[in-house]
């Protein structure tokens, strides 16, 4: 047996549901009305193999043998590509005769790097035991396999339940996967799932919170259309937004921060491509992103206050002195995290992500009759210039700007930086690097000023609610004012250097 030279791609969207909703999922009209053949019921017992050091997992590979009805199938999967919420994975499969992997068929796959000794190093590391019902559904001109899974994943003597609906595209446009998901979401308590069964098992093996999600690289070229570029960028940011949600729900600082940054970048992308987007639609998405960002922002602000600000102000002193403030701040942080979990547990984030992806996969770019979207190399310089002019306007008289003025400048500069990052490969590095370096210095100083203002505001709010903490809060306010003054002294010089820098897109 040999592996195919071009691996087939598995494109699927995973949706989670509570155990009580399985029957409602199975009987939903969208699955029953579009059914093209009978529902298949399967018992899937899947064993995942790796080395004791989890070498395959570290390379982004998953090797499994699945038994169903006395037949065995071996599958190798690679990590998901950054193709939007419906993950696209390379997948190789072979029939085998036992529940042990046949490593001889891996010679032309990424697993070949482990060499011929892989077979003797493989051990079973986790098992999934799933009852599945498969609904082949015709929907909107696409063929979609809707698999309802109910069972457990076991590893290291522990187990985690699985209740999920996988919508796998078999034929047709991926847009219809999102439209089917939205129809189901209108009636069912569904949430986007980002962890594979193997991922859940590996989390049981390692313990701790879900993995962080890296931002997928976006391969933009000067000649592609603005519509194609817009799709690629939004897809990559939605991968981060949804992929970071489990960590954010678990209270992980990095997960909350990554979700917040992805929202900022998505809002920036909407503004960047605004000249060729349908205004009422993208404005609705920007408003929804802003609302979610505010809940994330509150949790993030208290994270920084508790984990960084309080340590910086009182870290060298007597812990007993600051303990009352630490306890009060921790309560505020816990409340902000509870509010965030409640928001993420509701339907709004899933609805937002699915609607945004459906819009992006449809026809988001508006053109005139007979027109085609402009090439990115023609579009990008104009938009970078537009953002740069806004930064220049907001930075006038920088030494006399109010706190609100400095905050507006910081946001405008951040939008310029996020946008510029997508197009730097179009221009010589010797022109790009100096500009971005000066921009980072400006952004750092403005960030110091903003962080100091937030710290002072949070300290003052604690003093209002806990008058006995007023002296401790005054220490934080004083520290914040000193920090702000130090950054303000640097700002005019940094602004002068940045304002004189050659803009690399000209």
pLDDT tens readout for residues 105-159: 998 899 999 988 899 999 999 999 999 999 999 999 999 999 999 999 999 999 9
DSSP per-residue letters across 446-472 = HHHHHHHHHHHHHHHHHHHH-GGGHHH
Of 23, 353, 267, 335, nearest to 163 by C-alpha is 23
Q: Is the pLDDT of residue 84 over 80?
A: no
Q: Which tens digits make up the pLDDT trace of 353-386?
A: 999 999 998 888 776 545 677 889 999 999 999 9
Q: Is the pLDDT of residue 407 over 90?
A: yes
| Helix/strand/coil percentages in the chain, nearest 5 | 60, 20, 25
Q: Are 81 and 88 in contact (CB under 8 A)?
A: yes
DSSP category for residue 362: S
Section 227-241 average pLDDT: 92
For the domain spanning 9-208, the CATH number is: 2.40.320.10
Reading the block at residue 170, the tokens are 């078999």
| Cα dihedral 441→447→448→449 (10° resolution) | 120
For the domain spanning 218-369, the CATH number is: 1.40.20.10
Q: Are 116 and 38 in contact (CB under 8 A)?
A: no
Q: How many CA atoms lie within 13 A of 131 on its CB side?
A: 6
Section 401-418 average pLDDT: 95
Domain ranges across the chain: 9-208, 218-369, 375-506
Equal CATH topology for 9-208 and 375-506? no
What's residue 36's pLDDT?
Answer: 93
Measure the CA–CA gap between 156 and 50, rounded to whole angstroms. 14
Per cent of the chain over pLDDT 90 is 78
Measure the CA–CA gap between 232 and 280, rounded to whole angstroms. 22
Q: Are 64 and 46 in contact (CB under 8 A)?
A: yes
Q: Are 3 and 93 in contact (CB under 8 A)?
A: no
Section 67-93 average pLDDT: 77
Per cent of the chain over pLDDT 70 is 95
Measure the CA–CA gap between 478 and 485, rounded to whole angstroms. 11
Query: 375-506 has which fold?
Result: CHAD domain (1.40.20)
List alpha helices for 346-500, DSSP H: 348-361, 376-394, 403-423, 429-465, 470-500
| Cα dihedral 308→314→316→317 (10° resolution) | -160
Q: Are 5 and 109 in contact (CB under 8 A)?
A: no
DSSP category for residue 425: G
Q: Which tens digits make up the pLDDT trace of 4-35?
A: 334 445 578 999 999 999 999 999 999 999 99
- pTM, two decimal places: 0.89
DSSP category for residue 400: G
Measure the CA–CA gap between 429 and 415, rounded to whole angstroms. 21
Measure the CA–CA gap between 417 and 272, rounded to whole angstroms. 11
Q: Are 323 and 357 in contact (CB under 8 A)?
A: no
Measure the CA–CA gap between 411 and 397, rounded to whole angstroms. 17
Q: Is the pLDDT of residue 81 over 80?
A: no
Reading the block at residue 25, the tokens are 């999922």
Res. 88 pLDDT band, cuts 50 70 90: low
Q: Is the pLDDT of residue 297 over 80?
A: yes
Res. 281 pLDDT band, cuts 50 70 90: confident
């Amino acid at each position: 047996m040999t592996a195919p030279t071009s691996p087939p791609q598995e494109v699927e969207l995973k949706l989670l549901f509570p155990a009580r909703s399985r029957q409602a999922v199975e009987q939903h009209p969208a699955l029953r009305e579009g059914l093209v053949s009978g529902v298949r019921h399967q018992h899937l017992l899947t064993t995942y193999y790796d080395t004791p050091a989890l070498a395959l997992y570290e390379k982004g590979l998953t090797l499994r043998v699945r038994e169903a009805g006395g037949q065995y199938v071996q599958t190798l999967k690679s990590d998901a590509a950054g193709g939007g919420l419906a993950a696209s994975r390379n997948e190789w499969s072979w029939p085998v005769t036992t529940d042990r992997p046949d490593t001889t068929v891996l010679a032309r796959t990424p697993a070949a790097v482990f060499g011929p000794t892989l077979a003797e190093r493989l051990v079973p590391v986790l098992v999934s035991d799933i009852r599945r019902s498969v609904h082949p559904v015709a929907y909107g001109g696409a063929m979609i396999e809707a698999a309802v899974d109910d069972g457990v994943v076991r590893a290291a003597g522990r187990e985690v339940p699985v209740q999920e609906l996988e919508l796998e595209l078999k034929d047709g446009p991926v847009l219809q996967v999102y439209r089917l998901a939205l129809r189901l979401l209108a009636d069912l308590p569904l949430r986007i799932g980002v962890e594979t069964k193997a991922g859940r098992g590996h989390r049981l093996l390692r313990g701790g919170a879900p993995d962080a999600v890296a931002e997928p690289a976006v391969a933009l070229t000067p000649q592609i259309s603005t519509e194609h570029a817009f799709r690629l960028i939004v897809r990559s940011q939605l991968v981060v937004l949804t992929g970071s949600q489990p960590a954010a729900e678990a209270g992980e600082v990095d997960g909350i921060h990554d979700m917040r940054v992805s929202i900022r970048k998505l809002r920036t992308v909407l503004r960047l491509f605004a000249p060729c987007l349908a205004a009422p639609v993208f404005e609705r998405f920007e408003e929804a992103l802003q609302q979610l960002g505010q809940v994330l922002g509150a949790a993030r602000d208290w994270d920084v206050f508790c984990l960084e600000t309080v340590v910086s102000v009182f870290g060298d002193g007597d812990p007993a002195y600051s303990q009352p403030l630490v306890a009060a701040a921790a309560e505020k942080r816990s409340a902000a995290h509870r509010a965030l979990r409640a928001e993420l547990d509701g339907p709004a984030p899933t609805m937002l992500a699915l609607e945004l992806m459906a819009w992006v996969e449809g026809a988001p770019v508006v053109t005139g009759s007979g027109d085609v979207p402009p090439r990115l190399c023609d579009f990008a310089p104009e938009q970078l210039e537009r953002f740069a002019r806004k930064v220049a306007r907001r930075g006038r008289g920088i030494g006399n700007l109010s706190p609100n003025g400095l905050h507006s400048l910081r946001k405008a500069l951040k939008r310029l930086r996020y946008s510029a990052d997508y197009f730097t490969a179009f221009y010589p590095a010797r022109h790009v690097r100096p500009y971005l370096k000066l921009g980072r210095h400006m952004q750092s100083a403005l960030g110091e000023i903003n962080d100091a203002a937030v710290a002072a505001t949070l300290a003052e709010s604690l003093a209002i609610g806990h008058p006995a903490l007023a002296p401790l809060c005054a220490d934080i306010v004083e520290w914040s004012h000193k920090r702000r003054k130090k950054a303000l002294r640097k700002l005019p010089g940094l602004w002068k250097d940045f304002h004189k820098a050659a803009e690399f897109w000209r």
